[in-house]
Amino acid sequence: MSKDPKYQELINLVREANLLASCGSLLGWDERTYLPSKGSEFRGEQVGLIARLSHQMNTNPRVGELLANVEGRLMPAVDLPEQANIREIRRSYDRATKLPARLVEEMAKITTQAQGAWSQARQENDYPAFKPWLDKILVLKREETQAIGFKNHPYDALLDEYEPGCSSTEIREIFAGLVKELTPLLKRIQGASAKPRTEILHRSFPIEAQKEFGRKTAAKIGFDFEAGRLDTTTHPFCSGIGPGDCRITTRYNANFFNESFFGTLHEAGHGIYEQNLPAADFGTPLGSYCSLGIHESQSRLWENQIGRSRPFWEHFYPQAKELFSSLSDVPLEDFFFAINEVKPSLIRVEADEVTYNLHIALRFELEMDLLKGDLSTADLPETWNQKFQSYFGIQPPDSKTGCLQDIHWSMGGIGYFPTYTLGNLYAAQFMVQARKVMPLLDREISQGEFGSLKQWLVTHVHSHGRRYTPDVLCRKITGQALTHKPFLEYLNEKFSHLYRLM
List, by residue number, the catalytic residues.
Answer: 267
Cβ neighbour number for residue 475 with a 10 Å cutoff:
14
Asked if 40 is part of the footprint of a copy of itself (rule: CB under 8 A), the reply reads yes
- The answer on whether 266 is annotated among ligand-binding residues is yes
Residues 195-234 that bind a copy of itself (CB under 8 A): 224-229
Task: Determine the 3-state secondary structure of 108 from DSSP.
Answer: helix
What string marks each residue from 268 to 287 as x (binds a copy of itself by CB under 8 A) or -? --------------x-----
Least distance (Å) between residue 281 CB and a copy of itself: 13
Is residue 137 within 8 Å of residue 158, measured between CB atoms? no
Task: Choose the stretch contacting a copy of itself; rule: CB under 8 A; options: 37-45, 73-81, 260-268, 304-312.
Answer: 37-45
Contact residues for 87 (Cβ-Cβ < 8 A; gap 6+): 285
Q: Is 50 in the site for a copy of itself (CB under 8 A)?
A: yes
Compare residues 39 and 397 and give the one whose CB is closer to a copy of itself: 39
Residue 246's SS3 state is strand
Angstrom distance (rounded) from CA 224 to CA 218: 8
- Any known ligand binding at 333? no
Task: Give the number of other Cβ atoms within 10 Å of residue 303's Cβ.
Answer: 24
Helix and strand counts by DSSP (H, E) for the chain: 20, 3
- The answer to whether 23 contacts a copy of itself (rule: CB under 8 A) is yes
Residue 47 or 129 with smaller CB distance to a copy of itself: 47
Residue 250 main-chain phi, psi, to 5 deg:
-150, 175
Does residue 408 have a known ligand-binding role? Answer: no
Q: Which span (35-43, 185-193, 325-333, 452-460) binds a copy of itself, by CB under 8 A? A: 35-43
H-run or E-run covering 250: strand 245-250
Q: Whose Cβ is closer to a copy of itself: residue 240's or residue 307's?
A: 240
Contact between 28 and a copy of itself per CB under 8 A: no
Out of 5, 36, 76, 439, the only residue in the binding site for a copy of itself (CB under 8 A) is 36
In this structure, which long-range contacts are made by residues 156-159, counting pairs with CB atoms below 8 Å and at least 24 apart in sequence?
A: 158/371, 158/414, 158/415, 159/415, 159/418
Q: Is 411 exposed, middle or buried (0-12, 13-18, 19+ CB in 10 A)?
A: middle
Write down the least CB distance from residue 387 to a copy of itself, Å: 44
Instruction: List contacts with a copy of itself (CB under 8 A).
Output: 16, 19-20, 22-24, 26-27, 30, 34-43, 45-46, 49-50, 53, 224-229, 241-245, 282
- Annotated binding site for Zn(2+): which residue ranges? 266, 270, 296
- Annotated binding site: which residue ranges? 266, 270, 296
